[in-house]
Every structure is written in C-alpha cells, then in structure tokens.
C-alpha cells in the first residue's frame, strides 16, 4: 500500500483536497408529480390494501414498498377486518366491488373501529357513477379512484396527497 493511501486511511489528507462542490439538499419525503404538484412520502407509513385481484395487489404492493411504505394485504373483507381490528394503519386502500358484503358499509364499519377511525381511506372502483362517489364521500373516504385510470405511480401520488 502506498504511503498516500496509508495516510488517507489514517485520517490524513496526504496533500489531497476534497471537492468543494456542494450538492443541493434533497428531501426524500417531498416529491413532485409530472404536473409539478408536490406530495408527501412519509417513509414507513402503514398501508392496508384490501383487494381481491392478485395481479393488482402484486403491482401496487411492489411499487408502494419500493417507495418506502409498509404494506399489508387482505384478499377479502374478512381478512381485512381482522387486520383492522388489531393493527393501526395510516392509509386503507379498498376495492369497492368485492363479493360477500355491502361494500359501502365497509367504510362505516372501519370508521367505527377505534384503531383505524382516523386512517385515510382511498376507494378503488371499476365505475365512475356519481352516486357511488357521493356514497363513498359521505362515509368518510378521502379519495375515490377509478381502477382503469390509476397506475402504481398515480396511486403513490394520491397516497402522498392524503398524508399531507
């Protein structure tokens, strides 16, 4: 090992100067979408995704975890309610059209659960009927998104907006 390298490892500069270029500070928690609107990305926010289509689950889960969110998945309402009873989440993403339950009652039922009464709820739906939107909003959902319009990147932005 050369003497210069030994001096560097020993904490001496060996006559070398550090670069003086200062890089701008970038906040990992503030991002901008393609339209320049900012949104938050709190690292470690807890998300429960209740969705019965496994392909959609895999796609969203992968992207959300890449963004630093902690994601749990329920493929049916029963599993979702079991998780909501015992764990706290920052955001709940619900597929509005799932079998075996009054889909609108789900939001009210979650809101009545003390652990997640303050969680932000994002509803995913296949249709854009105004009555669906009104019923979801009346029950306390923060967002109503049409599945065919939402990409994983757009979902990340919507989550960031509700967490602002």
Residues 6+ apart with CB under 8 A from 68: 28, 41, 43, 44
> Are the CB atoms for 123 and 83 separated by under 8 Å?
no
Residue 149: inside a domain: yes
Task: Tell me the pTM.
Answer: 0.71
* pLDDT confidence of residue 3: 62
Residue 15: inside a domain: no
pLDDT in tens, 31-53: 554 455 555 556 689 999 999 99
Domain total in the chain = 1
Residue 50: inside a domain: yes
pLDDT in tens, 110-159: 888 768 888 999 999 887 777 777 888 888 888 999 988 999 999 999 99
Residue 35: inside a domain: no
Question: 101: domain range?
Answer: 42-162
Residue 47: inside a domain: yes
Is residue 68 very low, low, confident or very high in pLDDT (cuts 50, 70, 90)? very high
SS3 121: strand
- List the one residue out of 103, 85, 101, 98 whose CA is nearest residue 48: 85
CATH number at residue 106: 3.40.50.2300
Residue 90: inside a domain: yes
Residue 1: inside a domain: no
């Amino acid at each position: 090992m050369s003497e210069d390298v030994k001096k560097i490892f020993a904490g001496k500069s060996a006559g070398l100067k550090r670069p003086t270029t200062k890089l701008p500070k970038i906040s990992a928690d503030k991002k901008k979408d393609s339209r320049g609107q900012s949104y938050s990305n709190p690292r470690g926010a807890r998300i429960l995704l209740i969705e019965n289509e496994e392909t959609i689950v895999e796609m969203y889960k992968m992207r959300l975890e890449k963004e630093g969110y902690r994601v749990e998945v329920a493929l049916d309402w029963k599993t979702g309610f079991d998780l909501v009873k015992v764990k706290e989440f920052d955001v709940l993403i619900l597929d509005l059209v799932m079998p075996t339950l009054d889909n609108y009652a789900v939001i009210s039922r979650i809101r009545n659960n003390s652990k997640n009464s303050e969680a932000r709820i994002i509803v995913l739906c296949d249709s854009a009927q105004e009555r669906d939107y009104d019923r979801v909003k009346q029950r306390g959902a923060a967002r109503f998104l049409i599945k065919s319009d939402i990409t994983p990147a757009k979902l990340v932005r919507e989550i960031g907006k509700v967490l602002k």
